[in-house]
Amino acid sequence: MGQVLLSLVLCAFVLYWVYQDFDFRRAEDVLLHGTDWGWMSLSLLFGVLSHVLRGLRWKLTLAPLDARPRTANCVDAIFISYAANLLLPRVGEVSRCGVLARYDGVPFAKSLGTVVTERLLDGLCLVLIAAVTFFAQMPVFMRFFQETGTKIPSFVHLFTSPWFYVALFSVAGALWLLWRLLRMLSFFEKVKKVSLNIWEGVMSLCRVGNMPLFVFYTAGIWLCYLLHFYLTFFCFGFTEHLGILAGLVMFVGGTFAVVVPTPNGAGPWHFAVITMMMLYGVSDDDASTFALIVHGIQTLLVVLLGLYGWLRVSLGNRTA
């Protein structure tokens, strides 16, 4: 309960700072009359595809553990996990393992080990993407640090900028989450059998039978993530001029922001995307409108997929 409360407080705090002077009627008008739903639908299609590819990749990593879950259950478990994270950040990783344990008999600890492996691999991919993007658009990142009050020589601006405290609060939330994860790991380490099963799941990556297919799935997941975000630029007249490099910069910033334990990164994601978008010449109002509409629609997609996955896994396995 405490974790849920902290997540909501953190989300509300950051959103308040970002949107305290915002005209929400303008965002409503843009949503109803200024959004290209063709591009938005294409963006959402890549969002769905990223989850499907993640489910297929997960099944591939489970095979070395002699686990043969149904493909539909793996995909539905992914849908459910992302929706569950909206209620309680990071609980989705546990819920998706529970789905396969219940319906396919996959040992919970072993599947949890594969999830740990996935997170480590995805973290490495994000770091690589971020490094390439940083060197390609270094001036933009430098300006971002200056605009948010994080320029090292400017101590006065640092402590007087409200954005600094937004960032500080977000980092504090991320550190708190890390502390919670470390506590969970220390608990698992006390149970030898569980720890060995988790380790076996982690090492399953070394025994994946079709590594080229695994790499293809991984590359596809991240490409879909990027297109899921980037294609939304073409939905609005005030962002359609932004190029792929701008998309990469905001994609990296937003992805790091989602690490902060708020529902779907709400608050920190808006802060990062709005600030970076303004560096490319988009006005504050337009950037705020973009972040509000895009994040809202993408979050709605997560909810709908979660409900769909829950219904399909429940009804499908009942009649199977």
DSSP symbols for 246-296:
HHHHHHHHHHHHHTSSSGGGTTHHHHHHHHHHHHTT--HHHHHHHHHHHHH
- Whether the predicted pLDDT of 303 surpasses 50: yes
Rounded Cα distance between 200 and 106, Å, is 13
Give pTM, 2 decimals. Answer: 0.81
| Res 126: pLDDT | 87
Local confidence band at 154 (pLDDT 50, 70, 90 cut-offs)? very low
Structure confidence by residue, pLDDT tens digits, 240-266: 999 999 999 899 888 887 777 677 778
The per-residue pLDDT for 159 is 45
Average pLDDT over residues 224-237: 96
The confidence band for 214, taking pLDDT boundaries of 50, 70 and 90, is: very high
Question: Which of 40-49, 173-182, 214-223, 296-305 has the lowest average pLDDT?
Answer: 173-182
3-class secondary structure for 105-174? CCCHHHHHHHHHHHHHHHHHHHHHHHHHHHHHCHHHHHHHHHHCCCCCCCHHHHHHCHHHHHHHHHHHHH
- The band of 169, judged by pLDDT with boundaries at 50, 70 and 90, is low
* DSSP 8-state assignment for residue 209: S
Task: Name the pLDDT band for 183 (thresholds 50, 70, 90).
Answer: low
| Cα 218 to Cα 53: distance, rounded to the nearest angstrom | 8
Per mean pLDDT, which range of 71-85, 170-184, 200-214, 283-297 is the poorest?
Answer: 170-184
What pLDDT does 20 receive?
87
Distance CA 278, CA 280 (A): 5
Cβ within 8 Å of residue 149, ≥6 positions away: 157, 158, 160, 161, 163, 164
Position 296 confidence tier, pLDDT thresholds 50, 70, 90:
very high
15: pLDDT confidence band, cut at 50, 70 and 90?
confident
- pLDDT over 50 at 52, yes or no: yes
Q: Which of 126, 132, 121 is nearest to 244 (CA)?
A: 132
State what percent of residues in the chain have pLDDT above 70.
Answer: 77
Most distant CA pair in the chain, distance: 65
Q: Does residue 142 carry a pLDDT above 60?
A: yes
Q: By the 8 A CB rule, do 96 and 232 touch?
A: no
Question: 217 falls in which pLDDT band (50, 70, 90)?
Answer: very high
pLDDT at 177: 55
Contact 142, 272 (CB under 8 A): no
286-300 average pLDDT score? 95
Percent with pLDDT over 90 in the chain: 41
Question: CB of 133 within 8 A of CB of 249?
Answer: yes
Confidence tier at 111 by pLDDT (50, 70, 90): confident
